Structure 1
Amino acid sequence: MIKKYIGLLFIMLTLVGCTSKNDILENVSQEIKNYGISAEVPQVDDLAVNFVYVLPSPTATGDVNTVVISYTERKGELLKPNSNQNESKKKVLYGPFEGDSIFNLSISNVENSLDNASSTTVADLKMEYTVTNDRLILLANQNHMSYMIEGQITSKYTEESYFDVMAGIVHSVHVNTR
C-alpha cells in the first residue's frame, strides 16, 4: 500500500515539475510581448532553453527591442546573477542556467540585414548568412521582425541543420502567434 502511494506521489511530482517548466516559459513568452515582440519562446528539438533576456532599445523612443534566447543540450543549475556592468543593461527574463550554449537566437521587432552575406531559401524562407571560421550568423526577416541565429558549426550542427532550425523557428513563431 505504501509503495502505491509513493508511486502516485512520484508521478504527481513529475507532472508538477513538467507543468511548472512549461508555465514558466509561457509566462516568459507573455512578458516578451510586453516589449513589442509578438513571438513565443520557440521550442527546438533536443535542446533546452538556457536563458532569455531583453536588450535595451538603442533608440530614444524605446520602440526597438530584441529578445535573446540561448539553447543548450544540457541545462544545469540556476546561476547567480552577474554584477558585471554590461550584463546589468539587459533584462533577464529566464535563467541563466549552467550549460554550454549551442546557439543564441535573437528576435527583434524590426527587420535587419547582414553585410556581405550569402543567401539561401529553405521552406520558402529567404535567409542571409555569413560564416567566419566555425561561427555562423544566420538571419531571416518575416512580418516586420528579424530572427538571427549565432552558433558554432560542428559535425552535429552544420550550416544545413541551422537553416532547418531557423525555418522551423520562424514557422512555429508565426503559427503560434496568430
Structure 2
Amino acid sequence: MYIIVGLGNPGKKYAGTRHNVGFELLDQLAEAHGIKVDKIKFKALIGEGFIGSEKVVLVKPQTFMNLSGESVREVMHFYKVDETKLIVLYDDIDTAFGKLRIRKKGSAGTHNGMRNIIYLLQTDGFPRIRIGIGSPERGDLRDFVLNRFSKDERAEMALTLERAGKAIALIVDGNVDGAMNQFNG
C-alpha cells in the first residue's frame, strides 16, 4: 500500500495558486482512478482506492502548508506503512517552471511543508515529486507562491501534472528509477 500526499493550503482562497499544485495533482489522480477524497481524518481529507493493482491512500492535509507534517505523521502512524511507500507531491520554486524533479529521498530544500514533514517523521527517506512552479524575478516569495498561473502557464502546468500522474503510476508499480529516468527534466 502507498500513501500519496499532495501538499497545499485548504480553502477556496488558495485554490488554483502555485502553492497548491500538490493538491491539484492529487485531485487529478483521484478523478483518474475513481477515488473519492472526502473523508475527514488525520487532519486531512483522505480517500482510499487503487492505482493499478496497488492499494493507495490519497491525502490532502488540511493543516495549512507549513504544518503538513502533523497530518502526514498521523496517517503514517495509523497505516504503519514503510517510509519508502510514502509519496509527497509539492510545488518547488527551485525547479524550472513545468519541470519535474523526482527523488527517492533527500532534503526539503526551501519548502517549509516538506521541512515540517521530514522533521516530524524524522526521516527524509521517501519518494517525492517536486513540481516546478518557477520563481519570482523579484518581489515577495510569499506573494509569488500564493498567486495564480497565467493562462499560458496554466496550459503548460496541465501537461506537467499529466506527466506527474504517469510518474506516480510507475512509482506505485515499484519503479521509482524508471519514473526518475523518464520524467525528470
Normalised by the length of structure 1, the TM-score is 0.29
| Bigger strand share | 1
| Bigger helix share | 2
Normalised by the length of structure 2, the TM-score is 0.28
- Higher RCO structure (Cα 8 Å, ≥6 apart): 2
Structure with bigger gyration radius:
1
